[in-house]
Amino acid sequence: MKTLNLPKKLPIILVAFILVGWGINLASSPDATNSILKVDLNGEITAATTTMMNDALSLAQVQQVRLVIVTMSTPGGEVGAVQNIMNLFDSSNIPICCFVYPTGATAWSGGTYVLMASHLAAMASGTTIGSCQPVSASGEPINESKFLNALTALMVNHAALHSRNETMAELFVTQNNNLGAEKALQFHVIEFVANDIPMLLRNLEGFTLIRFEKLLGAGIWKILPNNQAQNYTYTISFNNISQANIVQYTPGIQTILLNILLNPLVSSILLIAGIFLLFTGIQTPGYGAELAGSICILLALVAFGAIGITLGAVVLFALGAILIIAELKTHIGVLALSGAVCMIIGSLLLFPSSQWLVYYELSQQIQESLVIATAAMASLFSFIAYKAAKARLSKVKTGKEALIGARGIAVKDLNPNGEIRVIGEFWQAKAEDGLIKQGEEVEVVTMEDLVLIVRPVNRKT
């Protein structure tokens, strides 16, 4: 069987070509010294939201934006995901403004916690925040003091950190209080009321965000009019911010995939289907059911939080590489396909992330290149496996099987016996019917002992 001989330096050439292309894109990245990053937080807050927010803040850091505006419309979400987002806000050196928007939007429960952790808080008219008492998975309110007191302290401490109403922050949790935009501004839970982002930015231009230390060294954030912020050391000015370029953050395929995986129905189906396929594959090996089941179970474990997203992606990459290497030895086809699926899913889970992010468009190109390269590699291995399987399944024709149907030339007249040359060899032959003259083309019909029974090709019926 012929093999495909590729130049040994081809992989190096391809890698160099890709790196040059990425370098050009990196060099042409826009200057964002006067820009704002707008992030939309819609729907339930989950681990996918945490990943999205981490990516967005990493992008904000790389592009050196002046402000991150998080527009919010959420019923709340998972406690762990909410706390992780609050921690991201706490460690951000770029100011973050949570804006409950548009009119009619809500930031209930976990959304209010996230709002309270932001450097600036704003609401549009007709929006609502509050109802922060924790609930169980079934939706029942949790009244155990251990959980209630912990979340109350979390809310109150962040209200104090940002110079907001600590009493109202406590009532959000203990009494499930709710406030509209005007009341929230009146009770000093938020800093601004605005009906759209341009209005919010115009209002913000008259203020400066300061950070000062209280007794015992506690750092406190506060928003002050520009003329009152001159005596503070650490200040963030918003002069001319209404003229800033607003960059819309667009979640990548990773966030979409995580939103699907973290859906309780999808994760449960993955686990059940994975177990079923695994047992089916054990009983009937060779069809790939056990591999499909293992992948489903691994994705379910990622969805349930049993293993981290990054760890799950690394495991998928490693499994994919092992399966593709095994395909080189076995040539059964299903291993290459399974390996490619593992590597594609792993690449979607892994990119973009903060440790890999250099420039947002660049990270998307890396992700797309990985998917395309993996799909191309899978296609190549599948083609090789198909050819190998076809070669194994095809029967080798020798002796009588190779001669029947073959065509040759009569080297002597056959009347009815004579001699022919077929497949480069001379054989005694017998005409099936009538006379065959020397030089006529003949076809082998059958073989009797060592004599070939033939007939002329131009008289075949």
Give residue-wise pLDDT tens across range 77-132.
889 999 999 999 999 999 999 999 999 999 999 999 999 999 999 999 999 999 99
φ/ψ of residue 263, rounded to 5: -65, 125
CA angle in degrees (0–180, nearest 5) for 212-214-220 = 45
Most confident of 22-31, 40-49, 252-261, 269-278: 40-49
10 Å Cβ neighbour count for 401?
A: 11
Q: Which residues are catalytic?
A: 109, 146
Q: Residue 199 has which token pair?
A: 């209005």
Distance CA 104, CA 126 (A): 5
Nearest of 173, 169, 206, 170 to residue 188 by alpha carbon: 169
Please compute the mean of the pLDDT values over residues 273-286 and round it to a whole number. 78
CATH of domain 400-459: 2.40.50.140
48 near 263, Cβ under 8 Å?
no
Most confident of 234-248, 285-299, 342-356: 234-248
pLDDT of res. 100: 98
Distance CA 166, CA 176 (A): 14
Helices (H), 394-459: 400-403
Cis peptide before 7 (omega within 30 of 0): no
The band of 32, judged by pLDDT with boundaries at 50, 70 and 90, is very low
Identify the sign of the CA torsion 129, 130, 135, 141.
negative
pLDDT of res. 375: 63
Give residue-wise pLDDT tens across range 148-196.
999 999 999 999 999 999 999 999 999 999 999 999 999 999 999 999 9
Give residue-wise pLDDT tens across range 359-410.
444 445 555 665 666 566 556 656 665 666 666 555 545 567 778 888 899 9
131 near 103, Cβ under 8 Å?
no
Distance CA 430, CA 414 (A): 6
Distance CA 197, CA 195 (A): 7
Distance CA 335, CA 382 (A): 9
316 near 300, Cβ under 8 Å?
no
CATH of domain 28-251: 3.90.226.10
The band of 9, judged by pLDDT with boundaries at 50, 70 and 90, is very low
pTM above 0.75?
A: no
Beta bridge partners of 121: 98
Give residue-wise pLDDT tens across range 210-255.
998 876 667 899 999 999 988 888 899 999 999 999 999 988 777 7
Please compute the mean of the pLDDT values over residues 329-344 and round it to a whole number. 71
Domain boundaries, the chain: 28-251, 254-393, 400-459
